Structure formats: C-alpha cells, structure tokens
Amino acid sequence: MRALVTGATGFVGAAVARALLREGWQVRALVRGGSDRSNLQHLALEIAVGDLNDRPSLDGAVAGCGALFHVAADYRLGAPDPRQLYSTNVEGTRNILLAARHAGVERTVYTSSVATMGIPSDGSPGDEQTMVSLEAMIGHYKRSKWQAEAAVLAAAKSGLPAIVAMPTTPVGPWDWKPTPTGKIILDFLNGKMPGYVETGLNFVGVEDCAAGHLLVAERGKRGDRYLLGAENLTLKGLFDVLAGMTGLRAPALKIPHGLALGVAYVESAFSRLVGKEPQIPVEGVKIAQHTMFVDCLRAQRELGFQPGPVAAALERAVRWYQGNGYVSPRRVRKMRLAA
C-alpha cells in the first residue's frame, strides 16, 4: 500500500516515513519546494512537491494513496507572526482532510500533540479523556493544534476514517532543526543551561513514536485519540539522566517561575525589536508552570504499543548531536559516553 506522509522532512514525520518503509510500504513524502531534505537522505521514497495551503498540490499528492499520515505542523513557541501557525496547523489540516476525502483514502492518521490535553485539577496524570476548552490553551501553538485536532475529530464524525495520534515529547536522533525539546538537550550538552524550572513532561523515543503511528493506523478506532508516550520525567530528572550518561554536570539551580517569566518577557521584547524569534518564549515558560504528566496505558492496552526506555532514546539523541557537530568540541572532550 502507498502512504502519503506530510511533514516528512521534520523530526517525527521522517521517523514515520522510515517506519513505513521498514514495514514494506510505498511512501510518498509531501515536501515544500526549497525545504531542507536532510532527513530524507538515502530513503527510497517518492517526493511530491506541494504545500498545505495549495489545495491542487494536495490533490495530486494524495492521489493513489491508501493511507495518509498528516504529521506536518508549524511547531514554534513565540512565533513573531502567529497567523502562520494557524495557516499551517489549522487551515492546512482542513485542506489535507478535504483532499483525503476526495481521493477516498482508506485511513488517515493525524499527528496531534499532548499539548491539546487538559490537566486534571487533582494533579493526577491526564489521559485521552482529559478534555479541555480552547480558552484554556496557553499560547498560539497549543491553540492552533487544538483547533486542528477538533477539525479532524469533526471529520471523523462525518465519516472520514481518521484517527488521532498524540505524541508526548519525542527525543532521539535525526533532529536536524532542532525541535524545542532538542534545543533544551543541546543547551545542556553545550553548557548553556545554568538552571531549571520545576516542571515535568512525558518523553518517548522518536522511533517508538513512529512505530506507534503505524499501530494507530492498523488498530486504532475512527475518531479516537491515542497518547504515544513512555516515561514521565521532571525537567531536573531529564538533566540527571543526561548527566549520568555523559559525565557532564547537571544544573543545580532551581529558577522560580516568576523570575523565568520576567526574563522571558524581557528577552522576547528584545527579540521582536531585532526581528528574531525569542530563545526563551513567554508561552514556553507559561506552559512549564504546569506539570504535564500523562497516562499512556490506553495505547499499550488497545494497540500493543511498547515503547523502549527513554534513557536509551536520549543516548541515541546525544550521540547523533555529537556526531553531527551540534556539540562544541570543548564540551565533547568533557563527555564520557560509554563505547
């Protein structure tokens, strides 16, 4: 069977494409003209040049495909022009859904995010049933993903064979851009992480996340949501794991949320003046005020999803960053990775 993968040049999208190829699928990748194709090197797939906001290009890309993996998204916190997020994440999703319906695609898997979940008031981990309103979403990225997911669920109710995959926080190799999470890991590796805020996330290896997408396509129920995650870790716990495997010192200074938010406001204002994206986005700090621990048992129980240890995924990420020049030579000399 042939599958169209949108966002195939990105971190998760490329991992999904690799997983499909390993399972014997024919893969067509939707790629914007002029985009960086580093993640597609040496992959035996077909390229379809198009754009989520160019409906005719989507009709051509999805033609003849039995499955659609819509992974593409504009994942930025603190984007200078939020309209770009809504254009890609919301309108682009609606466009590709229409193209899939018109082409008679048999199965659509939409890559949503743990960001669209609510947080239980009692502090317990959330799950697929922990719903939340649009008004409770922090920042334009989360709002745009919430609206896109709502469009997918509405399409599923109207008969489109669509299912929602909800990755938590993927980590691993091939993070060329890198992602916001990758930047946190790199700041640690390069000694640019003086402290940490008290927060927590669920992490998952990107390869496991990709394998989960195939399970969602094969075993998921139309209109349902499946969290693809592995382990809940505090940010300090993440740094402790990285410190243990690299021999680098973990930051010991806990930064109050109020101070971090003040710094973020100042840095973001300066970034706007010089026309750059902020290194410390305000919405990122606001999101970090909430611990996003989740319960991923549904995917394990219903789909047979079996993610590996996050520490192993982090080690693969560290080795890949080091091997591709993302870590300064001075810091590499201090690292003590096992052979």
User: How far apart, in Å, are the Cα atoms of 187 and each of 204, 267, 273, 328, 331?
Assistant: 19, 17, 24, 11, 11
- Sequence-ordered alpha helix ranges (H) in the chain: 11-22, 55-62, 83-86, 92-103, 139-157, 180-189, 206-219, 235-246, 257-274, 282-288, 297-303, 310-323, 329-334
Q: At what angle do helices 235-246 and 180-189 cross, to 10 degrees?
A: 50
**320 near 174, Cβ under 8 Å?**
yes
| Both tokens assigned to 251 | 């930051």
Q: How far apart are CA 281 and CA 274, in angstroms?
A: 15
User: How far apart, in Å, are the Cα atoms of 251 and each of 55, 75, 193, 246, 324?
Assistant: 48, 26, 7, 14, 24
User: How far apart, in Å, are the Cα atoms of 162 and each of 59, 105, 141, 167, 219?
Assistant: 17, 10, 22, 16, 12
What's the one-letter identity of residue 167?
P
- The closest of 226, 241, 248 to 294, measured between CA atoms, is 226
Give catalytic residue positions: 141
Q: How far apart are CA 244 and CA 214, in angstroms?
A: 33
Residue 277 contacts by C-beta under 8 Å, 6 or more apart in sequence? Answer: 76, 78, 79, 80, 271
**52 near 92, Cβ under 8 Å?**
yes
